[in-house]
């Protein structure tokens, strides 16, 4: 089975307990990843690899009646949960969750005003293709906020190497992926790197130039 099919099946299976274990919870890091986008009320915002759409209510809270938060994920089971969340919060007019592959988004060039990816890129089987596709669907000047896990600057510690092996084994999550470098290569300008002390998480805020 190809890696993307294995990843999709894995998230389909995990969807049942993803929220129960708070794997898709909304924490301050995710909220900050939204805040740095500095959204206008009528923005169209894309959340790639949205999972159970945990961030969607917070994202939608930044939008007015003309805005729309769109979560995309290739796992139908995750999207079912994201849509249940949208209904529960009565957000149907400001949010939607759609089954789709981030490497082949069903939107025209320059469709979105901003985009977000939380702990998604290191799970994407084809991250470079995914970045190119996000670049394509963003308007020039649009912001893209990537919250993920990666190697902190400096030498690779034992703790980091252990985490890297565990995350790969648990779910083909590659935390050695240098997402900021891939973003730059695709033509994004890095606006700000935010590192969280005591954790491997970072937010890379960039802009389509
Ligand atoms: C670790 S989860 C993160 C979910 C959510 N963003 C969060 O912060 O909890 C990664 C998600 O990316 C999705 N994913 C992986 N590859 C994808 C692809 N090629 N296209 C769309 N979604 C994908 C998985 O189905 C999964 O829901």
User: How far apart are the two ends of the chain, measured CA to CA in Å?
Assistant: 37
Cα–Cα distance between 101 and 2 in angstroms, integer? 15
DSSP H or E segment with residue 127: helix 127-137
Cβ–Cβ < 8 Å for 67, 42: yes
SS3 for 191?
strand
Q: How far is the CA of 140 from the centre of ligand 1 (A)?
A: 25
Torsion over CA of 102, 108, 111 and 117, rounded to 10 degrees?
0
Task: List beta partners, residue 98.
Answer: 72
pLDDT for the residue numbered 167: 87
Among the listed residues 184, 83, 79, the one whose alpha carbon sits nearest the alpha carbon of residue 135: 184
Best mutation site among 23, 47, 51, 129 for ligand 1 pocket (most ligand atoms within 8 Å of CB): 51
Ordered domains of the chain (ranges, CATH)? 3-208 (3.40.50.150)
Q: Is 135 touching ligand 1 by the criterion CB < 6 Å?
A: no
Cα–Cα distance between 64 and 80 in angstroms, integer? 24
Q: Is 133 touching ligand 1 by the criterion CB < 6 Å?
A: no
Q: How far is the CA of 35 from the centre of ligand 1 (A)?
A: 21
**pLDDT digits (tens), the chain, 209 positions:** 688 899 999 999 999 888 877 666 678 999 999 999 999 999 999 999 999 999 999 999 999 999 999 999 999 999 999 999 999 999 999 999 999 999 999 999 999 999 999 999 999 999 999 999 999 999 999 999 999 999 888 888 998 999 999 988 887 889 999 999 999 999 999 999 999 877 889 999 999 99
Of ligand 1's listed atoms, the one at least distance from the Cα of 147 is 8
Best mutation site among 122, 123, 174 for ligand 1 pocket (most ligand atoms within 8 Å of CB): 123
Torsion over CA of 34, 40, 45 and 50, rounded to 10 degrees?
30
Atom 14 of ligand 1, residue of closest alpha carbon: 49
């Amino acid at each position: 089975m190809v890696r993307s099919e294995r990843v999709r099946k894995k998230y389909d299976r995990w969807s049942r307990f993803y929220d129960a274990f708070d794997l898709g919870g909304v924490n301050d890091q995710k909220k900050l990843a939204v805040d740095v986008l500095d959204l206008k009320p009528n923005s169209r915002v894309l959340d790639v690899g949205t999972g159970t759409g945990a961030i969607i209510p917070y994202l939608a809270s930044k939008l007015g009646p003309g805005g729309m938060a769109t979560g995309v994920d290739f796992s139908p089971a995750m999207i079912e949960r994201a849509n249940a969340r949208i209904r529960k919060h009565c957000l149907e007019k400001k949010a939607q969750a759609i089954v789709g592959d981030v490497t082949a988004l069903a939107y025209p060039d320059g469709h979105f005003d901003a985009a977000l990816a939380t702990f998604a890129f290191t799970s994407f089987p084809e991250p470079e293709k995914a970045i190119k596709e996000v670049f394509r669907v963003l308007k020039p000047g649009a912001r893209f906020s990537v919250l993920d896990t990666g190697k902190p600057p400096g030498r690779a510690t034992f703790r980091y190497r252990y985490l890297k092996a565990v995350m790969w084994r648990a779910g083909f999550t590659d935390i050695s992926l240098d997402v900021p470098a891939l973003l730059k290569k695709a033509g994004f300008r890095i606006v700000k790197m935010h590192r969280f002390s005591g954790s491997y998480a970072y937010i890379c805020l960039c802009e389509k130039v």
